[in-house]
Amino acid sequence: MNTEPHLEIIIGTMFSGKSTELIRRVNRYEVAGKKVQLFKPILDDRYSRDHVASHDGLKRTVTYVYDLDDLKRKYEPSIGVLGVDEPQFLESGIVDFTEEHVRRGGIAVVSPLLKDFLDNYFVFKDGKLDTSEFVRRADHVTYLKALCTYQVENSQDNVCGDEATRVQRFIDGKVAPPDSPLVLVGGKEAYAPRCRKHYQFYR
């Protein structure tokens, strides 16, 4: 475990285990005696408003925030570890804020989505930067992938199962049109992980 000041990023697609890994890491830092504060945007309330929750049901108590200013108000400068889940739903200033925490001697652990359903880098709430900026500035990057759940005909396993680096959005069971809203919070009813072969590209 690296206890020196640093910015670590857990990035990837939906269903890749980002939130599970975030919870695991902040729990370990807490066991090691670090004071932890974990935040998530209120927009992401799919499973619980007061918890970081993974798709597989793992939970940890969290401080929810409406925007970056709200996070700054609730942030305690004395903490050792700053955790942020789904920061793509905040303003781009969250990148600088996590770096400021590191410069003060802390550890920041952040788990953003890398791409949106159109296969573009996910743009922050204010439209000024995208989540690849975290990758550029990070000291440690973990890139997680899901498994493609495309239904394969005449297959013993029924699904593709290859590594999924993209996510497909669906509306009423059909691939969402490119002009549908960029942000649509949802789970397995609206999104499915896809490998390159089975992802329906928009361009």
Does residue 60 or residue 109 have the better pLDDT?
109
Strands (E), the chain: 6-12, 36-41, 51-53, 59-61, 63-65, 81-85, 107-111, 140-144, 146-147, 163-164, 166-171, 174-175, 191-194
Domain boundaries, the chain: 6-145
pLDDT > 80? residue 65: yes
Q: How confident is the model at residue 56 (pLDDT cuts 50, 70, 90)?
A: low
Residues 6+ apart with CB under 8 A from 28: 1
Residues with a catalytic annotation lie at 86
Distances (CA, A) of 60 to 50, 90, 123, 135: 8, 20, 26, 25
Query: pLDDT for 130-171, tens place per residue?
Result: 999 999 999 999 999 999 999 987 766 789 999 999 999 999
- Supply the mean pLDDT for the chain: 90
The stretch 81-107 carries a mean pLDDT of 97
- pTM above 0.75? yes
Residue 9: beta bridge partners?
110, 141
CATH 3.40.50.300 fits 6-145, yes or no: yes
d(CA 146, CA 82): 25
- pLDDT at position 25 is 94
d(CA 48, CA 38): 14
- pLDDT at position 97 is 98
Query: pLDDT for 9-18, tens place per residue?
Result: 999 999 999 9
pLDDT > 70? residue 58: no
